[in-house]
Copies of this chain bind each other. A is one copy, B any other.
Amino acid sequence: MTTKDDIEEVLSTYDVDRISIAVLASHSALQILHGAKKEGMPTILIATPERKAFYENFSHLIDKTITVGSWRDICRYDIVERLQGVNAIMVPHGSMVEYVGPECLLNMRLPFFGSRRIMEVEASSKKKMELLRSGGIPTPKELSLNEDFEDLVIVKLPGAKGGRGYFVAKGRKEVQERLSGKKEVIIQEFLTGTRAYYHYFYSHVFKRLEILGMDIRYESNADSLGRLPMKGIEPTFTVVGNIPLVLRESLLPKVMEYGSRFVDATKGVEEDGIAGPFCLESIVKEDLSIVVFEFSGRIVAGTNIYTNGSPYSWLYWDEPMSMGRRIAREIVLARERGELGEILR
């Protein structure tokens, strides 16, 4: 498992003035590349052959493309060595976690801007909820098939991701029938209320938590069902895209508080805790209480809305500041201060 010492060792071989940002060709890569160029950093795109042609439309944002036969090739020694050779810092995103799996993530000898240990937690629904609870963040009630219940619940199957692998059911009996023997599921009370996803950035350089945006996930088919109320179609929750959102200002102190609690909680998982972007994923109930049902320990795709800055980022920065650019800015600032070791994981 790659340790902080390993990262320091790799960094010591780097030409720090020529550090580059590497990203997998998916998820929020365009935004990350765009942000890096805005901060004057060289960029490396890692792409599979079928993705290459699309990203060539944005060749002005990419200094070098490394083509891999399959995503898991990035775990190979020779690819890692090529990346080290161009002084690459990897910016992991949601697709990376999904494509390469936690083992490769943990062992890759390459500096990450973003936390590999927290992403490992993210790969397990159970550990994820435990981390949130350990921080004192309100989460949905969990139910067990060992007891009877009549509640409306949402069931997460093992490996649920991108909104797939979930279903809604009412009562233990229906859950059991639909699981047909599957184990290791998470059963949560189904909360009535509107969804809101908060994009945070924890800066070790400034020792501060920034709230850089919000979104609503746009899900297929759930977000189309209300348009035809006469039909009894089963809802599904595949994330298709994101819609911008601002929250009541009076809720922001609470959003910030839960974000801070999350930063503190991550110190139990990763030395010095999380660095950079993360997301808390919540239901805002009609009494304006906020319940967090998931987190992402890295940049979320909802930030793609804000390539030129968000309603919130403009309050901090007098220039367009996407999450991708914020990442590059943090790296540039840490380099200037000789603090790269503190922000890389």
Which A residues lie at the B interface, using CB under 8 A?
Answer: 26-31, 34, 50-51, 53-54, 57-58, 61, 95, 152, 162, 164, 168, 190, 192-196, 208-210, 214, 216, 218-233, 235-236, 238-253, 256, 283-288, 301, 304-309, 311-312, 314-316, 320
Contact = CB atoms under 8 A, between A and B. Distances in A.
B306 A311 contact: yes
23 contacts: A27-B250, A28-B249, A30-B249, A34-B314, A53-B253, A57-B256, A164-B286, A190-B228, A192-B221, A193-B224, A194-B221, A220-B285, A220-B286, A240-B284, A241-B284, A246-B304, A249-B301, A249-B304, A304-B311, A307-B312, A308-B309, A308-B311, A308-B314
A60 to B, nearest CB: 8
A143 to B, nearest CB: 18
Contact of A315 (B58, B208, B312): B58
B314 A194 contact: no
Given A194-B221, A307-B314, 7 more contacts: A50-B253, A152-B231, A194-B219, A220-B288, A224-B283, A229-B229, A239-B248
Give the oligomeric copy count.
3
A340 to B, nearest CB: 25
A243 B245 CA distance: 5
A137 to B, nearest CB: 17
A51 to B, nearest CB: 6
A287 B228 CA distance: 19
- Name which of A193, A228, A249 has the most chain B CB atoms within 10 A of its CB: A249
Q: Is the interface of A mostly helix, strand, loop or mixed?
A: mixed
- Name which of A222, A286, A314 has the most chain B CB atoms within 10 A of its CB: A286
Contacts of A248: 27, 162, 239-241, 301
Given A54-B256, A301-B249, A309-B308, A236 B286 contact: yes
